A and B are shown apart, each in its own frame.
Chain A
Amino acid sequence: MVDFGSARMIEVGTVLPTQVFTLDRAILKAYADASGDQNPIHQNEEFAVSVGLPNVIAHGMLTMALVGKYVTDWAGGAAQVHEFSARFIKPVIVPANEKVDLTVSATIASIEDGKIKLDITATSAGVKVLGMAKAVVTKK
């Protein structure tokens, strides 16, 4: 967990600390079981390649769930998150027996009536995987 530090300035333009999550095949299986999304492109390399993917890819919603954890930690709890959106622009590719990064950071885009809007960036292996990622939170 990132220590966001309560004394940190909260103003438009403030850049929040970067957090790096690690993905491997085990977390894809765990997310498939927890979410009910058992699409084989997220677990079976042979199948993924057969439909034109470079390898097994993470669920877009797993990527988003991890970014949701980042936002939740900064806001001070899941109940503080009111809106959350993202576009899935590139897959997070997860080869067997490897760990890949999901690197997340955010900037405060606006503050209105206590509602803080975050512009979020998420990359894996240096490639931007989410576009237009935004959240609206109230900070506890």
Chain B
Amino acid sequence: MLNPDSVGRTFPGSDAVTVTQSQIDAFAAVVGQSDTSVAPPTFAIRITLDQSQAILSNPEIGLDWTRVVHGDQRFEIHTPIKAGDTFRCSSTIESYKVAAGNEIVTVRSDLHQGDALAVSTWSTLVVRA
């Protein structure tokens, strides 16, 4: 079970992440996007899901990642991601509830570029009973 004290808290991600052209190219190739000057709209998940997984799996927070199903996903893209961009990530546990034994957690992850917020992602994760 998730530690209830973690709800509403914001956790910093690990070290800054720099996006490479080859990461964008590989992601774009899967969906058939030929213009790779800008990353596909869902590319941020490549950074934020890793970071939120690392944060939520921390024993202090206690989410059982092995039972997680992705419930929904939202992106707000203020600045499209390009190769060479360096981001710091933070994740906030925005809401938490238990329904029919399943834990339902909404995590917002923000990608900051310097002082600017480039992309926010919201992931609702369902930890199956």
Residues A105-123 near B (CB distance < 8 A): none
List B residues at the A interface (Cβ < 8 Å): 23, 26-27, 29-33, 35, 38-42, 45-46, 49-50, 69-78, 80, 122
List A residues at the B interface (Cβ < 8 Å): 1, 27, 30-31, 33-37, 60-62, 64-66, 68-69, 71-72, 77-79, 81-88, 132, 135
Please give 7 more A-B residue pairs, beta carbons under 8 A apart, in addition to A60-B73, A85-B72, A87-B72.
Answer: A1-B32, A27-B30, A68-B41, A84-B42, A84-B77, A85-B73, A88-B72
In the docked arrangement, what's the CA distance between A83 and B23, Å?
A: 22
In the docked arrangement, what's the CA distance between A68 and B33, Å?
A: 10
User: Which residue of chain B has its CB nearest to the CB of A87?
Assistant: B72
Q: Name the distance in Å between B114's Cβ and chain A's nearest Cβ.
A: 19
Chain B residues with CB below 8 A from A30, complex form: 26, 29-30
Judged by DSSP, the binding face of A is helix
Chain A residues with CB below 8 A from B50, complex form: 36
Known: A34-B29, A34-B30. A61 touches B71 (CB 8 A): no
A78 and B45 form a contact (CB under 8 A): no
B49 and A72 form a contact (CB under 8 A): no
Chain A residues with CB below 8 A from B76, complex form: 82-83
In the docked arrangement, what's the CA distance between A60 and B78, Å?
A: 23
In the docked arrangement, what's the CA distance between A79 and B37, Å?
A: 9
What are 30 of the A-B contact pairs (CB < 8 Å)? A30-B26, A33-B26, A34-B26, A35-B46, A35-B49, A36-B50, A60-B70, A60-B73, A61-B73, A64-B42, A64-B73, A65-B30, A65-B40, A66-B31, A68-B40, A68-B42, A69-B32, A72-B40, A77-B38, A78-B39, A79-B80, A83-B75, A85-B74, A85-B75, A86-B73, A88-B71, A88-B72, A88-B73, A132-B72, A135-B41
